[in-house]
Homo-oligomer: A and B are copies of this chain.
């Protein structure tokens, strides 16, 4: 029998020879295999489970004997009796290598396991949380060598976990002595480390071995909604998600009205700071209650938000963000302690804020960058986060990333639209207009039936049809354009011009009636002013994207990612017909859902992602649309539907837009409009 044996770990494929008698955990550490352990090899935590194989492994050119590992020992037997060890599993810290062996490390035994993300193009999330649990055995105090309990705890972390120089805040100090004694000098510590090798900070100590869930919080603090995800910092799982309205809404629907509020009211900014922090705390209470935990159980948090929310959350007056040159008080990422920002988390918990990109492009945009990783993309990607402000990023790995924001206004959220409303039950969200009859049919939120299908009236009996939400208005306008009810300049035709009496004169222009008044007198109409609002909004969005394309020197992009909860509901085809986004193969337009929230979650689960996004943001080229002369020119061109100048060849291949013009004024040649090619 050899003095050493070959050990092969799967799925990593790492292999090497170790002395016979080495534990699997020791072998894994020696070979750099990612095998978890909280108890440090004492047979308590069972995090180091492996599945040994037996028989022939031609791929690895090895045959594994039945007794390749030492027999099941007393520690494993006790663990199995108490908590149950899954079939075929061994504790890596107990099983010793006897001869050549192949060992599979299941995902749950890996520290740096991958969290599953559905979308192929999205970056992987690899678990590498900033807070981890460590079980240690601490030396008892000795009058001959007096030292503090904390110092001996720190020494144990240094020796047993290679975590030298651990410190602890006062809240840890307050309970430390009784906990050490209750645990008979064996304790579990939650330790925060901003990066591998960074100064460790002890956040919390439990007597004995502790294996409770370790909670982290990722928050996307929006102007309208505060959305939070409570995550298990060991598994990466989202254990609870919830959203509440931002209580600041009472100070103003949109950001600029909140900035104005703080300018007009002494103490107004402080009032809004209190409101948003209270809102956050309500959300935290809700999320933790959902899983039977308390806010103090949360040991790490990441927050993303736009610059105005960023400043208001931090207690900084957003005054300067309301006027050129839109100077941020600070743009760098911040790591604060929860009490500094009055958050009801564990008092030693950190709150990490992603960096802001520019005065109008906030930490939420940085989180989108982190989620979508344009700086790693092989093809040129346009990432658009659609909201009151659109944050637009363009880039790839080869050429780097540029970012700008564009003031789209709230039309995409249904505001300033005569029949517009927030996305809520009763709102029209899907629309089709028959090109021949010009008759519309639609779906409302809360029902899967089209309005012309049987049962629709019953399905909407409780809500009624109350208005059109943001994604609905985009489809509506695009469908009107496709059906020839709307011309390229954005004029709605008359009944005569369009051949439907759903078009009716409405002041100096025409409107299109979508739905007749119901019993409550609720009528759904699209006015020409509504069209103008959408034109302004989509032109702003397009011009920002086009400006970045100019800077990059391209006329097309390879793919487009629509971020934001709203982006998830937009129909790419309709958005392109409207000219909201540049021309692109439709199958190359995807939705990233709440990418800002995902970015927050990535930063929560992977500490290296924090330094990474800070570096990426430093490298992003920031474009301020307000001072770019070409922005106005693009904006004017983009007011046409889809565009007065730019070509949409991909769109034209699948959709033919009727060449109508309803301008009865002096636009020459009966209102026919020639399209120039760019």
Contact = CB atoms under 8 A, between A and B. Distances in A.
Interface of A: 140-151, 168-170, 173-174, 176-178, 314-317, 319-320, 324-332, 336, 340-341, 356-359, 622, 624, 626-627
A151 B622 contact: no
A598 to B, nearest CB: 25
Given A148-B331, A150-B330, A316 B177 contact: yes
Question: Which A-B residue pairs are the 5 nearest by beta carbons?
Answer: A148-B331, A141-B327, A146-B358, A148-B330, A150-B330
Given A146-B359, A315-B170, A141 B332 contact: no
A310 to B, nearest CB: 10
A329 B173 contact: yes
B151 A332 contact: yes
Most B CB within 10 A of own CB, among A147, A314, A626: A147
A282 to B, nearest CB: 22
Contact of A173 (B151, B314, B627): B314
Nearest to A154: B332
Contact of A143 (B151, B169, B326): B326
Contacts of A356: 148
Nearest to A625: B143
Interface SS of chain A: loop
A142 B325 CA distance: 6
B316 A146 contact: no
Nearest to A340: B170
A141 B314 CA distance: 21
Contacts of A315: 170, 173-174
Q: Which one of A140, A150, A316, A329 has the highest number of Cβ atoms from chain B below 10 Å of its Cβ?
A: A329
A168 to B, nearest CB: 8
A626 B177 contact: no
Given A143-B325, A146-B359, A151-B332, 8 more contacts: A141-B326, A142-B325, A146-B326, A148-B331, A173-B316, A174-B317, A177-B319, A177-B329
30 contacts: A141-B325, A141-B326, A141-B327, A142-B325, A143-B324, A143-B326, A143-B626, A145-B622, A146-B325, A146-B328, A146-B331, A147-B328, A148-B328, A148-B331, A148-B356, A149-B327, A150-B329, A150-B332, A151-B330, A170-B336, A170-B340, A170-B341, A173-B315, A173-B316, A173-B329, A174-B316, A174-B317, A176-B316, A177-B317, A177-B320
A314 B169 CA distance: 11
A325 B169 CA distance: 24
A62 to B, nearest CB: 51
Contacts of A320: 149, 177
A353 to B, nearest CB: 11
B143 A330 contact: no
A151 B331 contact: yes
**Of A144, A177, A317, A331, most B-chain CB atoms within 10 Å:** A177
A624 B331 contact: no
A190 to B, nearest CB: 18
A549 B336 CA distance: 50
Contacts of A331: 146-148, 150-151
B170 A329 contact: no
B177 A327 contact: yes
A142 B140 CA distance: 59
A246 to B, nearest CB: 21
A579 B215 CA distance: 63
Contacts of A178: 317, 319
Contact of A330 (B149, B316, B340, B341): B149
A140 B169 CA distance: 38
B148 A314 contact: no
Nearest to A140: B325
A547 to B, nearest CB: 14
Contacts of A173: 314-316, 329-330
Nearest to A273: B174
Contacts of A168: 330
A336 B173 CA distance: 13
A340 B172 CA distance: 13
A251 to B, nearest CB: 19
A349 B43 CA distance: 46
A173 B141 CA distance: 43
Contacts of A329: 148-150, 173, 176-177
Contacts of A627: 143-144
Contacts of A169: 340
A141 B170 CA distance: 39
Most B C-beta atoms less than 10 A away, residue of A331, A341, A356:
A331
Max count, chain B CB within 10 A of own CB: residue among A143, A173, A315, A627: A143
A162 B357 CA distance: 26
A319 B176 CA distance: 12
Contacts of A626: 143
A150 B355 CA distance: 13
B624 A144 contact: yes
Contacts of A316: 173-174, 176-177
A307 to B, nearest CB: 10
A327 B624 contact: no
A626 B143 CA distance: 9
A415 B324 CA distance: 71
A135 to B, nearest CB: 21
A99 to B, nearest CB: 48
